[in-house]
Amino acid sequence: MELEKERERERAITPRSEDYSQWYVDVVQRAELADYSPVRGCMVIMPYGYAIWENIQKALDKRFKETGHQNAYFPLFIPYSFIQKEAEHVEGFSPQLAVVTHGGGQKLEEPLVVRPTSEAIIGYMYAKWIRSYRDLPVLINQWCNVVRWEMRTRLFLRTTEFLWQEGHTAHATREEAEAETHRMLDVYADFAEREAAVPVIKGRKSEREKFAGAVYSLTIEAMMGNKWALQAATSHFLGQNFAKAFEIQFLDRDNRLKYCWTTSWGLSTRFIGAIVMVHGDDKGLRLPPRLAPIQAVIVPIYKSDEERSQVLEVARATLTKLEGAGVRAHLDDREEYTPGWKFHEWELRGVPVRVEIGPRDVEQEQIVLARRDIGGKEGKRAVPQARLVEAVTQLLDDVQEGLFKQALEFREKHTYEPKDYGEFKEAVERGFALAPWCGSAECEAQIQEETKATNRCIPLEQEPLPENAKCVRCGEPAKERALFARAY
């Protein structure tokens, strides 16, 4: 008995309540999303994890194209001097740079930086390409890898090298560039909520937290399963900072030479970490159907050879029907595992819908559907084979919605509006704290020191504060509420 419990523990992943970090590592590895590489802080994204990334890419790329952007590719290496052209940018990124000093067996004249982000090289190229207002706006995105030398790394959430997309746009007017910054934030929020079922809070980063070189940064913040915050994507209004640093100028209608207004925006493989942490449970991953590499897995059940051939026939027909309807389906017809084993395996890997087909179902011309977001018998139900496609597609939509609702309710349940600093301190222990803030960087730093919580953002959508509102910490007048939380 004791031994059985031990074995059970070995098979199972660490419960979230016991050790959230270990749970996360267990899920990522056991679900075969990623594995460690021999290089510190670098990971291998395995086929199943990469398939999620490909689905993220598809969903985002479609939105980028719909909003008029084109893809291009800029080089991995950037002359060291380019990074130094924008003062805040250098200061922000220099501690994180990987620098190449040798090539072809010889020391380089000028060291090359492995891009930590591409504002510099893209700024240089835009200066070459842009002549007149007729060339604007320039709306380009690139899918690539970047390298930032991190002190502490975690699978997907913070790795030395990561994959992302970075959009870089140049505009004739401030208004247009700001509109682009907001528009792309909306694109990210729409993607996060509709495709990934991750509810997000749109907001503006504080001065302290903004991108190095931006006038301001916008962000979408999501609550993870341990109630910490994660910045899921950012969109930056760069003003004319990079335009001035790289001489990105255009001749306007009035025949005057002007600096462009630029933006940049990005979403990385970190988002996969967000999906794991927002939806995952003690059984493992729970993938949102719209991004799941496998949306429905078919598990055949049989005893005798006769049953086997009958069941498999129905299972294969089921697979064909689902695929024909555009469902990403998979038939797990491996002989070496029992149905029960397969149930656990596919639950661990987060497949949203399971289709069980056994002798009883063959006889009654039905199939059994089980949904990943609701466990046990409650999430199971039998459906006539004739209604298969309809039922599965409907169920996928239901799971998508169910995951979003669960995540949203969880966030709302753990978001507080503390009345004073005492309540504030308790609130950031238990989740998000939305509180009036004076706007000073000093206050922000103090809060971080005293509570470990950081200023995640100033939410864009918020009720106006009463006239005499005071900062939750220092008591100075406050104009806005800021969202504070522990964060990854």
Partner RNA sequence: CGGGGAGUGGCGCAGCCUGGUGAGCGCGCCUGCUUUGGGAGCAGGAGGUCACCGGUUCGAAUCCGGUCUCCCCGACCA
Q: Which stretches of 118-195 are DSSP H helices?
A: 119-129, 174-190
Contacts to RNA from residues 137-166, by CB under 7 A: 148, 150-155, 157-160, 162
In the shown chain, the binding pattern of residues 315 to 354 toward RNA, with x for contact by CB under 7 A and - for none, equals --------------------xxxxxxx-xxx-xx------
The residue among 122 and 157 lying less far from RNA, judged by its C-beta, is 157
How many DSSP H helices and E strands does the chain contain?
A: 15, 23
**Rounded distance between C-alpha atoms, residue 429 and residue 426, angstroms:** 5
The answer for residues whose C-beta is within 8 angstroms of residue 148's C-beta and 6 or more apart is 93, 96, 97, 116, 160, 162
Residue 128 CB, shortest distance to RNA, in Å, is 27
Contacts to RNA from residues 183-222, by CB under 7 A: 209, 211-212
DSSP string computed for 95-115:
GG-EEEEEETTEEEEEEEEEP
Q: Are 292 and 31 in contact (CB under 8 A)?
A: no
Contacts to RNA from residues 225-264, by CB under 7 A: 231, 234
Contacts to RNA from residues 436-475, by CB under 7 A: 448-449, 452
Q: Are 238 and 262 in contact (CB under 8 A)?
A: yes
Q: Does position 272 bind RNA by CB under 7 A?
A: no
Q: Are 411 and 432 in contact (CB under 8 A)?
A: yes
Q: Does position 358 bind RNA by CB under 7 A?
A: yes
Residue 377 CB, shortest distance to RNA, in Å, is 8
* Contacting residue, 270, 279, 473, 481, with RNA by CB under 7 A: 270
Q: Does position 124 bind RNA by CB under 7 A?
A: no
Q: Does position 380 bind RNA by CB under 7 A?
A: yes
Q: Are 74 and 122 in contact (CB under 8 A)?
A: yes
Q: Does position 374 bind RNA by CB under 7 A?
A: no
- What CA–CA distances, in Å, run from 434 to 8, 450, 474? 41, 17, 15
The residue among 126 and 228 lying less far from RNA, judged by its C-beta, is 228
Contacts to RNA from residues 75-104, by CB under 7 A: 92, 95-96
Residue 161, φ and ψ in degrees, nearest 5: -110, 135
* Contacting residue, 25, 460, 465, 474, with RNA by CB under 7 A: 25
Residue 418 CB, shortest distance to RNA, in Å, is 20
Contacts to RNA from residues 101-120, by CB under 7 A: none
Q: Does position 36 bind RNA by CB under 7 A?
A: yes
